[in-house]
A and B are shown apart, each in its own frame.
Chain A
Amino acid sequence: KAGVTQTPRYLIKTRGQQVTLSCSPISGHRSVSWYQQTPGQGLQFLFEYFSETQRNKGNFPGRFSGRQFSNSRSEMNVSTLELGDSALYLCASSLRDAEQFFGPGTRLTVL
Protein backbone atom coordinates (compact mmCIF):
# COMPACT_ATOMS: atom_id res chain seq x y z
CA LYS A 1 0.00 0.00 0.00
CA ALA A 2 1.49 3.35 -1.01
CA GLY A 3 2.13 5.83 1.78
CA VAL A 4 1.27 9.49 2.01
CA THR A 5 2.88 11.47 -0.78
CA GLN A 6 3.62 15.16 -0.79
CA THR A 7 4.68 17.36 -3.66
CA PRO A 8 6.88 19.13 -4.18
CA ARG A 9 9.51 17.92 -1.72
CA TYR A 10 11.46 21.17 -1.81
CA LEU A 11 10.43 24.67 -2.69
CA ILE A 12 12.13 28.05 -2.66
CA LYS A 13 10.04 31.21 -2.79
CA THR A 14 10.55 34.89 -2.10
CA ARG A 15 8.69 37.09 0.33
CA GLY A 16 5.29 38.19 -0.90
CA GLN A 17 4.79 35.22 -3.19
CA GLN A 18 2.22 32.52 -2.64
CA VAL A 19 2.66 28.77 -2.63
CA THR A 20 0.48 25.69 -2.98
CA LEU A 21 1.49 22.35 -1.51
CA SER A 22 -0.15 19.05 -2.35
CA CYS A 23 -0.84 15.91 -0.35
CA SER A 24 -2.14 12.56 -1.53
CA PRO A 25 -3.35 10.43 1.38
CA ILE A 26 -3.19 6.68 1.70
CA SER A 27 -5.89 5.06 -0.38
CA GLY A 28 -9.13 4.89 1.59
CA HIS A 29 -8.13 7.53 4.13
CA ARG A 30 -10.56 10.41 4.27
CA SER A 31 -8.95 12.52 6.98
CA VAL A 32 -6.02 14.75 6.05
CA SER A 33 -4.23 16.99 8.52
CA TRP A 34 -1.48 19.53 7.94
CA TYR A 35 1.30 20.48 10.33
CA GLN A 36 4.09 23.02 10.27
CA GLN A 37 7.45 22.02 11.73
CA THR A 38 10.12 24.57 12.64
CA PRO A 39 13.13 24.38 14.95
CA GLY A 40 11.72 27.13 17.13
CA GLN A 41 8.08 26.09 17.44
CA GLY A 42 8.22 22.36 16.80
CA LEU A 43 5.25 20.61 15.21
CA GLN A 44 2.12 22.73 15.10
CA PHE A 45 -1.31 21.81 13.80
CA LEU A 46 -2.54 23.85 10.86
CA PHE A 47 -5.87 22.28 9.88
CA GLU A 48 -7.70 19.04 9.27
CA TYR A 49 -10.05 18.03 6.50
CA PHE A 50 -12.50 15.17 6.42
CA SER A 51 -14.75 14.44 3.47
CA GLU A 52 -13.93 17.81 1.90
CA THR A 53 -14.87 19.73 5.06
CA GLN A 54 -12.49 21.51 7.40
CA ARG A 55 -12.99 19.87 10.80
CA ASN A 56 -10.53 21.88 12.81
CA LYS A 57 -8.12 24.76 12.43
CA GLY A 58 -5.00 25.73 14.36
CA ASN A 59 -3.81 29.15 15.42
CA PHE A 60 -2.40 30.38 12.15
CA PRO A 61 -3.23 33.57 10.26
CA GLY A 62 -5.69 33.61 7.41
CA ARG A 63 -2.82 33.56 4.91
CA PHE A 64 -2.79 29.81 5.50
CA SER A 65 -5.66 27.99 3.86
CA GLY A 66 -6.44 24.56 2.58
CA ARG A 67 -8.94 22.41 0.83
CA GLN A 68 -9.73 18.79 0.16
CA PHE A 69 -11.01 17.26 -3.02
CA SER A 70 -13.54 14.48 -3.52
CA ASN A 71 -10.72 11.94 -3.95
CA SER A 72 -9.38 13.01 -0.50
CA ARG A 73 -6.30 14.69 -1.96
CA SER A 74 -5.59 17.93 -0.18
CA GLU A 75 -3.80 21.17 -0.91
CA MET A 76 -2.67 23.93 1.36
CA ASN A 77 -1.94 27.44 0.25
CA VAL A 78 0.10 30.17 1.86
CA SER A 79 -0.29 33.66 0.48
CA THR A 80 1.96 36.68 0.94
CA LEU A 81 4.85 34.58 2.16
CA GLU A 82 6.97 35.79 5.07
CA LEU A 83 10.46 34.71 6.09
CA GLY A 84 8.97 33.03 9.14
CA ASP A 85 6.94 30.70 6.94
CA SER A 86 10.10 28.77 6.13
CA ALA A 87 9.42 25.33 7.53
CA LEU A 88 8.77 21.68 6.85
CA TYR A 89 5.10 21.24 6.04
CA LEU A 90 3.81 17.80 6.90
CA CYS A 91 0.64 16.11 5.82
CA ALA A 92 -0.90 13.19 7.69
CA SER A 93 -3.75 10.94 6.67
CA SER A 94 -5.91 8.56 8.63
CA LEU A 95 -9.10 6.65 8.63
CA ARG A 96 -11.55 8.49 10.81
CA ASP A 97 -10.34 8.50 14.43
CA ALA A 98 -7.34 6.29 13.93
CA GLU A 99 -3.58 6.54 13.85
CA GLN A 100 -2.19 9.17 11.54
CA PHE A 101 0.41 8.39 8.91
CA PHE A 102 2.72 11.19 7.89
CA GLY A 103 4.20 11.98 4.53
CA PRO A 104 7.85 13.02 4.02
CA GLY A 105 6.95 16.72 4.05
CA THR A 106 7.60 19.69 1.81
CA ARG A 107 10.58 21.82 2.77
CA LEU A 108 9.66 25.46 2.06
CA THR A 109 12.34 28.11 2.10
CA VAL A 110 11.31 31.76 1.88
CA LEU A 111 14.04 34.19 0.85
Chain B
Amino acid sequence: GESVGLHLPTLSVQEGDNSIINCAYSNSASDYFIWYKQESGKGPQFIIDIRSNMDKRQGQRVTVLLNKTVKHLSLQIAATQPGDSAVYFCAENLDYGGATNKLIFGTGTLLAVQP
Protein backbone atom coordinates (compact mmCIF):
# COMPACT_ATOMS: atom_id res chain seq x y z
CA GLY B 1 0.00 0.00 0.00
CA GLU B 2 0.97 3.62 -0.22
CA SER B 3 0.76 4.41 3.48
CA VAL B 4 2.97 2.48 5.83
CA GLY B 5 1.51 1.39 9.15
CA LEU B 6 3.60 2.66 12.02
CA HIS B 7 3.12 3.07 15.71
CA LEU B 8 0.59 5.87 16.12
CA PRO B 9 2.35 8.90 17.63
CA THR B 10 0.58 10.54 20.55
CA LEU B 11 0.42 14.18 21.52
CA SER B 12 -0.73 14.84 25.06
CA VAL B 13 -1.74 18.40 25.95
CA GLN B 14 -3.46 20.19 28.80
CA GLU B 15 -6.91 21.63 28.27
CA GLY B 16 -6.62 25.24 27.18
CA ASP B 17 -3.15 24.87 25.68
CA ASN B 18 -2.44 25.11 21.98
CA SER B 19 -1.76 21.92 20.03
CA ILE B 20 0.46 21.47 17.01
CA ILE B 21 0.19 18.31 14.97
CA ASN B 22 2.74 17.70 12.25
CA CYS B 23 2.67 15.72 9.04
CA ALA B 24 5.25 14.98 6.37
CA TYR B 25 3.63 14.33 3.02
CA SER B 26 5.04 12.11 0.35
CA ASN B 27 4.66 13.70 -3.05
CA SER B 28 6.02 17.07 -4.09
CA ALA B 29 3.43 17.15 -6.89
CA SER B 30 0.49 17.11 -4.46
CA ASP B 31 -1.55 20.25 -4.77
CA TYR B 32 -4.29 19.87 -2.20
CA PHE B 33 -4.07 18.94 1.46
CA ILE B 34 -6.69 18.19 4.07
CA TRP B 35 -6.77 17.56 7.78
CA TYR B 36 -9.29 15.09 9.14
CA LYS B 37 -10.31 14.27 12.69
CA GLN B 38 -11.44 10.76 13.55
CA GLU B 39 -13.15 9.94 16.81
CA SER B 40 -13.52 6.41 18.05
CA GLY B 41 -16.18 4.51 16.12
CA LYS B 42 -16.69 7.25 13.55
CA GLY B 43 -15.51 8.09 10.07
CA PRO B 44 -12.98 10.88 9.45
CA GLN B 45 -14.42 14.38 9.76
CA PHE B 46 -13.16 17.24 7.59
CA ILE B 47 -11.42 20.00 9.57
CA ILE B 48 -9.64 22.27 7.14
CA ASP B 49 -7.97 22.18 3.75
CA ILE B 50 -5.31 24.14 1.88
CA ARG B 51 -4.22 24.44 -1.71
CA SER B 52 -0.55 24.31 -2.68
CA ASN B 53 -0.59 27.95 -3.74
CA MET B 54 -1.12 28.96 -0.11
CA ASP B 55 1.15 28.82 2.95
CA LYS B 56 -1.43 29.32 5.64
CA ARG B 57 -5.15 29.03 6.12
CA GLN B 58 -7.21 29.73 9.21
CA GLY B 59 -10.49 28.34 10.38
CA GLN B 60 -12.34 28.43 13.65
CA ARG B 61 -9.68 27.66 16.31
CA VAL B 62 -7.59 25.85 13.70
CA THR B 63 -4.76 26.92 11.41
CA VAL B 64 -3.03 24.87 8.76
CA LEU B 65 0.50 25.70 7.65
CA LEU B 66 2.07 24.34 4.50
CA ASN B 67 5.82 24.26 3.82
CA LYS B 68 6.30 22.92 0.32
CA THR B 69 10.08 23.19 0.48
CA VAL B 70 10.31 20.44 3.07
CA LYS B 71 6.95 18.80 2.28
CA HIS B 72 5.57 19.52 5.71
CA LEU B 73 2.07 20.26 6.90
CA SER B 74 0.98 21.26 10.37
CA LEU B 75 -2.33 21.71 12.14
CA GLN B 76 -2.55 24.15 15.01
CA ILE B 77 -5.49 23.96 17.38
CA ALA B 78 -5.98 26.91 19.70
CA ALA B 79 -7.27 26.52 23.24
CA THR B 80 -7.53 22.75 22.99
CA GLN B 81 -10.65 21.23 24.52
CA PRO B 82 -11.43 17.68 25.71
CA GLY B 83 -13.71 17.30 22.69
CA ASP B 84 -10.65 17.70 20.47
CA SER B 85 -9.32 14.33 21.66
CA ALA B 86 -9.19 12.13 18.56
CA VAL B 87 -6.86 10.81 15.87
CA TYR B 88 -5.86 13.45 13.34
CA PHE B 89 -4.89 12.57 9.79
CA CYS B 90 -3.36 14.66 7.08
CA ALA B 91 -4.21 13.70 3.50
CA GLU B 92 -2.88 14.79 0.13
CA ASN B 93 -4.44 14.85 -3.31
CA LEU B 94 -2.14 14.61 -6.29
CA ASP B 95 -4.55 15.97 -8.83
CA TYR B 96 -7.05 18.31 -7.27
CA GLY B 97 -9.35 19.65 -9.93
CA GLY B 98 -8.22 16.93 -12.26
CA ALA B 99 -9.29 13.39 -12.84
CA THR B 100 -9.42 11.99 -9.33
CA ASN B 101 -10.39 12.64 -5.73
CA LYS B 102 -7.94 9.99 -4.52
CA LEU B 103 -6.46 10.87 -1.14
CA ILE B 104 -3.23 9.55 0.33
CA PHE B 105 -3.42 9.57 4.11
CA GLY B 106 -0.68 9.95 6.68
CA THR B 107 -0.43 7.51 9.56
CA GLY B 108 -2.27 9.74 12.01
CA THR B 109 -1.56 11.34 15.37
CA LEU B 110 -3.52 10.64 18.53
CA LEU B 111 -4.31 13.86 20.39
CA ALA B 112 -5.05 13.30 24.07
CA VAL B 113 -6.36 16.31 25.95
CA GLN B 114 -5.90 16.21 29.71
CA PRO B 115 -8.53 18.12 31.74
Q: Which residues of A contact B (CB under 8 A)?
A: 4, 31, 33, 35, 38-45, 48, 50, 55-56, 58-59, 90, 92, 94, 96-97, 99-105
B42 at interface by CB-CB < 8 Å: yes
| A45-B102 contact, Cβ under 8 Å, with A99-B34, A102-B44 | yes
CA distance A81 to B107 in the complex (A): 25
Question: 22 A-B residue contacts at CB 8 Å?
Answer: A33-B102, A35-B105, A41-B3, A41-B5, A42-B105, A42-B107, A43-B44, A43-B105, A44-B3, A45-B2, A45-B104, A55-B101, A56-B99, A58-B1, A90-B44, A94-B101, A97-B97, A100-B34, A100-B101, A102-B44, A104-B41, A104-B42
Residue on A nearest B41 in the bound complex, by CB? A104
Residue on B nearest A94 in the bound complex, by CB? B101
Main secondary structure of the interface of B (DSSP, over half): loop
A58, A90, A99, A103: most-surrounded residue (chain B CB, <10 A): A99
CA distance A6 to B97 in the complex (A): 26
CA distance A98 to B44 in the complex (A): 15
**Could you tell me if B99 and A55 are in contact, using CB atoms closer than 8 angstroms?**
yes
Apart from A38-B5, A43-B89, A92-B101, what 9 extra A-B contacts exist at CB < 8 Å? A42-B5, A42-B107, A43-B44, A45-B104, A56-B99, A56-B100, A90-B43, A101-B46, A105-B42
- Measured between C-beta atoms, what is the minimum distance from B38 to chain A in Å? 8
- Measured between C-beta atoms, what is the minimum distance from A82 to chain B in Å? 15
- Measured between C-beta atoms, what is the minimum distance from A28 to chain B in Å? 15
CA distance A26 to B44 in the complex (A): 15
Q: Mark B37-64, 1 if CB is under 8 A from A, else 0.
A: 0000111111001000000000000000
- Measured between C-beta atoms, what is the minimum distance from B76 to chain A in Å? 19
Q: Mark B61-78, 1 if CB is under 8 A from A, else 0.
A: 000000000000000000
Q: Which of A44, A56, A101 contacts B1 (CB 8 A)?
A: A44
